Amino acid sequence: MSAKQFKLTYFPIKALAEPIRFLLKYGEIDFEDHRLDTVNWPTIKDKMPFGQVPVLEMDGKMVHQSVAISRYLAKLVNLTGSNDLEDLEIDAIVDTVTDFRSKIAVYNIEKDVTRKAQLKETLLQETRV
C-alpha cells in the first residue's frame, strides 16, 4: 500500500502498541515490529521522543503518542468516519477507552493491598457500569 518503511518500537506486550499493530496489519502495511528487551530500556529511553514508547518510525521520522499514531494510520488505511460527526463519535469512543484504560492502569500498579481492593471495587461497581 505504501512505499514508506515502518518500524514500531514498544515493549514485548500488547497494551498501547496493539491498536497500531492492528491498523498496520489491516492496511497490509509491512512493518518491523521491534519489541524492546526491557533490560535495555534505560539505554534506549533517551533516544525516544519524551522518553516513552510506542514510537513509530516512518522512513526514519519518529512519531509518538499511540492515539495520534492510530488516528494517522486510520486515515492512511481508510478507517475514518464518512463525515465530521462520525469522526467525532469515533474520537469519543477512543477517548472513553483511554479513560477506562487509565483507571485500570492505576489499579494494576497499586502496591498497597487495601487501596488495591478499593480501586478494584470502584472499577467493578462504578467505572464498568
Ligand X SMILES: N[C@@H](CCC(=O)N[C@@H](CS)C(=O)NCC(=O)O)C(=O)O
DSSP state of 7: E
Which residues would be at the binding site for ligand X (CB under 6 A)? 15-16, 45, 51-54, 65-67
At 80 the three-state DSSP class reads: coil
Taking the least distance from each CB to ligand X, the nearer of 56 and 119 is 56
Q: Of 66 and 82, which has the nearer Cβ to ligand X?
A: 66
Q: Rounding to the nearest 10 degrees, give the CA dihedral for residues 30, 36, 41, 45.
A: 10
What is the smallest separation between the CB atom of 89 and ligand X, expressed in angstroms? 21
Shortest spacing between CB 8 and ligand X, in angstroms: 12
Which of 42/60 has CB closer to ligand X?
Answer: 42
Q: In this structure, how many other beta carbons lie within 10 angstroms of the beta carbon of residue 75?
A: 12
The set of cell numbers assigned to 38 is 526491557
Q: Minimum distance between the CB of residue 70 and ligand X, rounded to whole angstroms?
A: 9
